[in-house]
Amino acid sequence: MRRFLIAVTLLFAAAGLTPSAMAQEAATPEKIALVKRYFAAIEFDQTMDRMTKAMVPMMVKQAKNLDPKADTKDMEAMMSISLEITKEHMPQILDSMTKVYAEAFTEDELKYMVSFYEDPRGRAIMRKTADMTPKMMEAMSNVMPDMMKKTRERMCAKINCPKPVEFKPEGGQ
State the amino acid at position 161 in one-letter form: C
| Sequence spans of domains, the chain | 27-158
Q: What average pLDDT does range 121-148 have in this prediction?
A: 84
Distances (CA, A) of 73 to 9, 102, 146: 19, 41, 24
Band (4; pLDDT cuts 50, 70, 90): very low
Please state, in angstroms and rounded to a whole number, the distance separating the CA atoms of residues 65 and 59.
Answer: 10
pLDDT in tens, 73-114: 877 787 788 788 888 888 898 898 999 999 999 999 999 999
Least reliable range by pLDDT among 62-71, 107-116, 120-129, 152-161: 62-71
Widest CA span in the chain = 59
Mean pLDDT of 42-47: 83
Residue-level pLDDT at 2: 46
Q: What is the pLDDT of residues 147-157, one digit of tens each?
A: 888 888 888 88
pLDDT value for 18: 43
Looking at residue 145, its pLDDT comes to 81
> Hey, what's the torsion of the CAs at 27, 117, 56, 13, to 10 degrees?
-30
**Which of 12-16, 61-65, 89-93, 164-168 is predicted with the least confidence, judged by mean pLDDT?**
12-16
Distance CA 98, CA 102 (A): 6
Q: With a threshold of 0.75, does the pTM exceed it?
A: no
